[in-house]
Structures are given as C-alpha cells and as structure tokens.
Amino acid sequence: MYIILAVLLFAAVFGMFSRIYKRNWDKDLNVELKISTNGLFEGEQAKAVEIISNNKPIPIFWASVQFQVPGALRFGDAHSGSDYYREDRMSLFSYEEITKKFDFTAVHRGCYRLSDLQFMAGDLGFQSIMIKSFPSSPLIYVYPRAKEVPRFRIDYKKIIGDSIARRNVVEDPFFFRGIRDYYPFDSMKNINWKATAHTSSLKVNQYHTTQSRQVMLLLDLDGYNRLDGQRIKEDAISIAACLARKLAFSGVAVGFVTNAADVLSGGEIQADCKSGRGHFLYLMRKMAKINTDKLLTPFDRVLENILKRSDTATQYILISYYYGEGLVRWVSQLESAGRSIQWIFLHAREREINFTRRPGMYICEEAQ
C-alpha cells in the first residue's frame, strides 16, 4: 500500500514539475551565434561562436543547438556542396552560460549566412521536443583568391608595367606637371634653376603624387551560352582580385566594375578608384557579392558609359573570357577617344574562337 502511495505521490510531483518545466524551460534563455570575422579569403579558416545562457533557477537537462550551414562553408569533416544543419548537444545548469567555438573553412567565394538558429530541449519524460528559434544570422563574405591563377599563364609584371607606361601618356605621377613658387618645406632637388633665374625668385618643379595613378578594372562576365562553366568565371574574378592586390599594394588607386548583379541587393557592382589596404578589402567585398548567374546588362553598355565620361586620365584593364565583334568595336572606340585600355583575354582550350590579336591585348592561354 505504501509503495503504491509513494508511486502515486512521485507521479503527481513529477507531473507537476514537468508542467512547470514545459511552461518555463525557455524563459530567460538566450542563444547567440557569432563569427570571428565577417570577411575572409577563399580557403581560409574562421570560427563560429555559440553563446548559450540560462538565466533562471530551472536547469535544462538535455538540449541541442542547431543552425543551417551553407554548403560553401565546411565545419570539420562535413562535406561541402549542399546546405546542411549543424547540431551540438549540451546540458545547462541554473544560471549557467556556455561558450563554444568551432572552426570552419570557406570553400567557395560568395556571401553566406549561418541561419535558422534553433534551441531544442526535451521534456522530463523524453516524450516530446520543444523548440525555440533565435534571430542570430551572421553574414560572411568569402573573398575570391587574390592569388595568381595557375590555370592560365598570365604575365602580371608585364601587364602592370605596360599599364603604368601607358599612364605616362596621360598623367604619370613621376612626370613633370608644372612650376610653382618655392615653399620652405620643398626639397632643394626640385628647384628649377632656369625658371628661378628667369623670374628672380625661387621656383620648383611640381609632380603628380603616386596616389594620382588610377586603374579601373573592368570584369566582363558575358558568355557564349548557358553552358559556360562556372570555373572560368571564378578564374576571371580571381584574376581581377589578384590585379587589384598587386596594384593597390604598389600604391596605385584601383577601381572596379562588372556587369554582373550584386547577390544581396540585385543592383550593379562598381567601386571608384581609391588606394590603401582598406579600399582593397572593400573591393574584395564587392567581388564576393558577384552573382555570376545574373547579368544586368551586356558589357558593351558598360564600355559605352565609360565613353560618355569626360575622364581620360584613368587607365582601364579589361578582363574577359568572351570575344565578340561588339566588344572589339567598343574597345576600338574607347582607344580612338583617347582612353587607354588593356585587354586580358582568357582563352580556354575547350572553346575554339577566331580572334584577332590587337595592341594592348594579352592572350592568356590555358596551361596544359
């Protein structure tokens, strides 16, 4: 008899506590998901950080945190390719906070979110699962590889050297710009003695600064058909990123424009010519957002807009794996209008194309 009463009493107490637990398990519970950096280069590693806090006297005996991971981010031994959910199990005592860190590798260029953050807890009888969602959804920019692409043989030194030499015709930072009055902070080596003798007052030669060099990278993602492989598009983006790095770290102001859409806003992607490491990372973020599957306009339109501008001081470097009569025509018109433009043409082995080599055009053959 006493055993039956004890069992009934235990069942009543357990049932009451179970109901209290179900009503209050998620009170003062907070789950946050962060990342150690919001931008990294393709192939690099970063950390995801889970912060789980239980700010109440009721413990949570068994639970798990899960969030959706884009296939382009690889946690541990997980296979990349398709989106998947990552789950981490735990228990939380009263007024306890747990912080967990997990390494992941950025496998592909792009913009991604760790989304659908959920905390799942089981009831005391292991009969049901209770779920609470949290709004944490950190955005990650995976920059393209800003390194030389081994698939194509590209002489970057020659291209950049030719670019600077071509800029001399328009506006070279180390070339003479004019004469002005001498100031106490001027170097004696800049004094123009002939002008000084002629005017009877000290005159100095004036030069353009290094920052006045401007190179605009033009990334043409026009293709031949829908069967164009994703690989060559990504190679073209990486080549643009590599050029941006080499130019920016040489003190050259670099800009960027493409005809592909922004994967986040759906709008156009362009950046004015500026210099410095901060601007280089800004360009990398722009390139991370390129949606290669959505083109806003044929690249002819981009070149047409450049032709309408009055600026003739900018050096242009066109990067494309496409060759067409319209593109050739617009490049010729730009040159006729006094614009200085170089053309990096990526010639893949799988496509036979009849093209004419022209001055300032670099045919980059695919390596065997």
| pTM across the whole model | 0.81
Residue with tokens 């002939």, as numbered in its chain? 194
Q: What DSSP string runs through 180-242?
A: EE--TTS-GGGB-HHHHHHHTS-EEEEE--GGG-EEEEEEE---SSTT--HHHHHHHHHHHHH
Q: What digits encode the pLDDT tens for the residues 18-28?
A: 677 778 888 99
Q: What digits encode the pLDDT tens for the residues 135-153?
A: 989 999 999 998 888 888 8
Closest to 91 (Cα-Cα) out of 60, 69, 122: 60
Q: How far is CA 116 from the centre of its chain?
A: 23
Most confident of 91-95, 170-174, 282-286, 356-360: 282-286
Inter-CA distances, 115 with 112, 118, 139, 143, 331, Å: 9, 9, 9, 20, 44
Q: What digits encode the pLDDT tens for the residues 308-347?
A: 887 778 899 999 998 888 888 999 998 888 888 999 999 8
Q: What digits encode the pLDDT tens for the residues 63-89?
A: 899 999 999 999 987 666 788 999 999
Cα–Cα distance between 256 and 316 in angstroms, integer?
A: 10
What rounded mean pLDDT belongs to the chain? Answer: 84
Which residues pair with residue 238 across a beta bridge? none
CB atoms within 10 A of CB 238: 22
Closest to 298 (Cα-Cα) out of 266, 321, 340, 326: 326
The pLDDT value recorded for residue 169 is 43
Amino acid, res. 362: Y
Mean predicted confidence (pLDDT) in 158-178: 58
In eight-state DSSP terms, residue 79 is: P
Beta strand 139-143 with 176-181 is: unpaired
Strands across the sheet with 73-75, in order?
A: 29-35, 45-54, 96-106, 73-75
All structural domains of the chain: 27-143 (2.60.40.10), 156-170+210-365 (3.40.50.20), 176-207 (no CATH)
Q: What digits encode the pLDDT tens for the residues 109-141?
A: 999 999 999 999 877 666 678 899 999 899 999
The pLDDT value recorded for residue 260 is 96
The pLDDT value recorded for residue 318 is 96
Beta strand 115-122 with 60-69 is: antiparallel
The enclosing H or E element of 354 equals none
- Dig out the tokens for 147 from the structure: 């390194």
The pLDDT value recorded for residue 221 is 94
The pLDDT value recorded for residue 210 is 44
Mean predicted confidence (pLDDT) in 97-102: 94
Closest to 26 (Cα-Cα) out of 138, 114, 134: 134
Cα–Cα distance between 169 and 354 in angstroms, integer?
A: 32
